[in-house]
């Protein structure tokens, strides 16, 4: 049976080694090699007996992904990775360099079945959930390739994390385990279109991590036009949950709001949104729509985005307009595409291809 080590928690890894007649501390050694040192194969684990290393490698290779291609933005150092899974799925992650440290944005699924009409990621539907190992390897391979110390993680790539909750939770447990990478829970943000069962579990399981909800509209009439999930979980339900989330976790909640020309970016929309969020410890992250050719929607103007932000702030609601990174390499929100072949031509003089050895 194929056992990918990175699909197991450290506890499960201990049981795995015990069942093979090995000392449980072997699990801690392997765990450290995988997450702290980012080992690419068992041969690197020099404090393990050679026979054990070979047996493990025969069970299943350590890496679940291969870097198929990487693009580096010459504007801001953003890198987009296209990874190939063992069964041939192509998934994408984005590495971002910020003044306060580097961050990786990972995909939670190959494709997506949420069907938000403005988003490129889900236009071919869902292929499958990603495994905990595939989630970890997106981060670990980007760290190894860039040589940067990654201290922040966002689960905001392709896919809906709450639709793959068990695997996402296992992944978060593994990368926050102090015996490995030890990423701080507060440095993690998970973004959801609003799947209530997953959000409830996330509040219970990871109250220290950050939750971002893609709201994108002040009311159900607009929201259901652009997000099918709006018919299952309405704005009122989301707001009620958000209030409970803030009370129970003691943390601020983030709302993402894609600004679409004339659809949801008018002053009356800002007023309605501000009214909904009054008194809630939250931040509205305004994202000017990234153009996706097939969708027929246009981004708001910079002036409209600024006016929207100021109108929210005047009513006491904190808001930022998201700075766009990596737009020259189609790495910005909603632009991650499944197949390299299906990509818009990534022409232009702002990126170059990273040679992969
Ligand atoms: N499924 C999750 C996470 C993935 S999308 C979610 O819905 O939150 C990450 C963010 O990018 C979401 O807020 C999503 O709505 C937004 N997004 C999708 N397409 C976009 C586009 N074309 N322009 C700007 N943001 C987009």
Sign of dihedral through CA atoms 127, 221, 261, 311?
negative
Q: Give the range among 83-92, 184-193, 329-338 with minimum mean pLDDT.
A: 329-338
What is the structure's pLDDT at 34?
97
Considering the chain, tell me which residue range(s) the CATH 1.10.150.530 domain(s) occupy: 5-59
Confidence label for 354 from pLDDT (cuts 50, 70 and 90): very low
Residue 318 pairs in a beta bridge with 283
pLDDT of residue 346: 35
Residue 92 among the catalytic residues = yes
With b meaning 16 or more CB within 10 Å and e meaning fewer, what string describes 260-276? beebbbbeebbebbbeb
Longest distance between any two alpha carbons in the chain, whole Å: 69
Which one of 89, 116, 193, 333 is the catalytic residue?
333
Half-sphere exposure of 202 (CA within 13 A, CB side): 33
Q: Is 285 in the pocket of ligand 1 (CB under 6 A)?
A: no
Tokens of 161: 């994390």
22, 32, 92, 256: the active-site residue:
92
Mean pLDDT of the chain: 90
In this structure, how many other beta carbons lie within 10 angstroms of the beta carbon of residue 54? 12
Residue-wise pLDDT tens digits, 97-136: 887 789 999 999 999 999 999 998 888 899 999 999 999 9
5-59 is classed in which CATH architecture? Orthogonal Bundle (1.10)
CA 13–ligand 1 middle distance (angstroms): 35
Sequence ranges of the chain with CATH classification 3.20.20.70: 65-339
Which tokens go with 196?
């209530």
287 Cβ below 6 A of ligand 1: yes
Q: Contact at 8 Å (CB) between 132 and 74?
A: no
Ligand 1 touching residue 190 (CB < 6 A):
no
Residue 348 has pLDDT above 90, yes or no: no
SS (H, E, C) the chain: CCCCHHHCCHHHHHHHHHHCCCCCHHHHHHHHHHHHCCCCCHHHCCCCCHHHHHHHHHHCCCCCEEEEEEEEECCCCCEEEEEEECCCCEEEEEEEEECCEEEEECCCEEECCCCCCCCCCCCCCEEEECCHHHHHHHHHHHHHHHCCCEEEEEECCCCCHHHHHHHHHHHHHHHHCCCCCCCCHHHEEEEECCCHHHHHHHHHHCCCCEEEEECCCCCHHHHHHHCHHHHCCCHHHHHHHHHHHHHHHCCCEEEEEEEECCCCCCHHHHHHHHHHHCCCCEEEEEEECCCCHHHCCCECCHHHHHHHHHHHHHCCCEEEECCCCCHHHCCCCCCCCCCHHHCCCCCCCCEEECCCC
194: left (phi over 0), alpha (psi -120 to 50) or beta: left
1-17 confidence digits (pLDDT tens): 578 999 999 999 999 99
The reply to whether 105 belongs to the active site is no
Rounded distance between C-alpha atoms, residue 159 and residue 97, angstroms: 23
Structure-block tokens of residue 60: 């299943």
- pLDDT of 289: 92
pLDDT reported for residue 287: 93
Identify the residue whose C-alpha is closest to ligand 1 atom 18.
334
CB 241 within 8 A of CB 280: no
333 lines ligand 1 (CB under 6 A): yes
For residues 149 and 272, what is the distance between their CA atoms, to the nearest angstrom? Answer: 41
Question: Which tokens is 58 given?
Answer: 């025969």
CA separation for the pair 231, 80 (Å, rounded): 33
Q: Which atom of ligand 1 is nearest to the CA of 163?
A: 1
139-194 residue pLDDT tens: 999 999 999 999 999 999 999 999 999 999 999 999 999 999 999 999 999 999 99
Q: Whose CA is nearest to atom 11 of ligand 1?
A: 333
140: nearest Cα among 183, 185, 109? 183
* 42 neighbors 53 (Cβ within 8 angstroms): yes
Q: Does domain 65-339 have CATH number 3.20.20.70?
A: yes
Distance CA 215, CA 210 (A): 15
pLDDT for position 18: 94
pLDDT band for 338, please (50, 70, 90 cuts).
very low
């Amino acid at each position: 049976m194929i056992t990918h080590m990175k699909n197991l928690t450290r506890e499960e890894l201990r049981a795995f080694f015990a069942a093979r007649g090995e000392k449980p501390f072997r699990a801690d050694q392997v765990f450290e090699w995988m997450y702290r040192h980012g080992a690419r194969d068992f041969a690197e684990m020099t404090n393990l007996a050679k026979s054990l290393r070979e047996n493990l490698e025969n069970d299943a290779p350590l890496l679940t992904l291969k870097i198929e291609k990487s693009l580096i933005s010459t504007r801001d150092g953003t890198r987009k990775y296209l990874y190939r899974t063992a069964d041939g799925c192509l998934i994408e992650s984005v590495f971002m360099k910020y003044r306060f440290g580097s961050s990786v944005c990972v995909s939670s699924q190959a494709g997506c079945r949420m069907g938000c009409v403005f988003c490129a990621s889900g236009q071919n539907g869902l292929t499958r959930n990603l495994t905990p190992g595939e989630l970890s390897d997106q981060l670990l391979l980007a760290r190894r390739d860039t040589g940067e110390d990654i201290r922040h993680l966002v689960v905001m790539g392709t896919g809906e994390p709450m639709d793959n909750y068990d695997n996402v939770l296992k992944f978060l447990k593994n990368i926050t385990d102090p015996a490995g990478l030890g990423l701080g829970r507060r440095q993690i943000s998970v973004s959801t279109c609003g799947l209530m069962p997953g959000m409830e579990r996330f509040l219970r399981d990871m109250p220290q991590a950050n939750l971002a909800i893609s709201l994108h509209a002040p009311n159900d009439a607009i929201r259901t036009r652009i997000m099918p999930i709006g018919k299952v979980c309405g704005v009122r339900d989301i707001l009620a949950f958000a209030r409970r989330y803030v009370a129970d976790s003691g943390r601020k909640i983030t709302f993402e709001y894609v600004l679409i020309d004339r659809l949801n970016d008018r002053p009356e929309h800002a007023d309605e949104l501000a009214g909904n969020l009054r008194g809630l410890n939250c931040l509205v992250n305004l994202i000017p729509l990234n153009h996706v050719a097939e969708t027929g929607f246009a981004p708001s103007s910079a002036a409209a985005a600024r006016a929207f932000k100021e109108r929210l702030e005047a009513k006491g609601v904190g808001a930022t307009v998201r700075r766009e990174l990596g737009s020259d390499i189609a790495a910005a929100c909603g632009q991650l595409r499944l197949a390299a072949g299906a990509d818009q031509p990534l022409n232009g003089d702002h990126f170059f291809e990273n040679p992969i050895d």
